[in-house]
Amino acid sequence: MTEMTINLPHDVAARLAPIEERLPQLLRQIAQAVPADRPEASVSQPAVAYPVYNEFLNFLMTAPSPQEIIKFKASPTAQLRLRELLDKNRETVLTDAEQSELDAYEQVDYVMTMLKAKAHNQLQQTGQAGRNE
């Protein structure tokens, strides 16, 4: 395993502290979601520049329960923006910035799908599946 040092603003580090032990797994999932044919798309714009990432990180910062993970949905604003990008992508070619933003939505969707699957599995293993859903 490789050790990395990342310089973060103090407020960001404080917000990530509660999930510090899960960061390697979350970063692995995000890295796996980076399109192999367009790695520049994921680095052309800092992740936090996209509201969908901030929304996702804010949700994770609440240390959600498995039930809350399963119930999570993007905000209506994020859903509207995604629809706009998808519609435009069907009609014409997206700009590099728009494609990068769409890639960010895909990455967040991938990680949330994985988290929801793990939450379902955890609830099934503990016999809580179907409760409070």
- pLDDT per residue over 95-125, tens digit each? 888 988 999 999 999 999 999 999 999 999 8
Assess if residue 15 is contained within a domain: no
Torsions phi, psi of 3, nearest 5?
Answer: -95, 135
Average pLDDT, the chain: 83
Q: Tell me which residue range forms the domain holding 102.
A: 43-133
Q: Which residue has the higher pLDDT, 43 or 60?
A: 60
For residues 106 and 35, what is the distance between their CA atoms, to the nearest angstrom? 10
Mean pLDDT (whole number) for 42-57: 70
For residues 55 and 72, what is the distance between their CA atoms, to the nearest angstrom? 11
Number of structural domains, the chain? 1
For residues 21 and 10, what is the distance between their CA atoms, to the nearest angstrom? 18
For residues 26 and 3, what is the distance between their CA atoms, to the nearest angstrom? 15
Assess if residue 16 is contained within a domain: no
Assess if residue 52 is contained within a domain: yes
Assess if residue 25 is contained within a domain: no
* pLDDT band for position 79 (cuts 50, 70, 90): very high
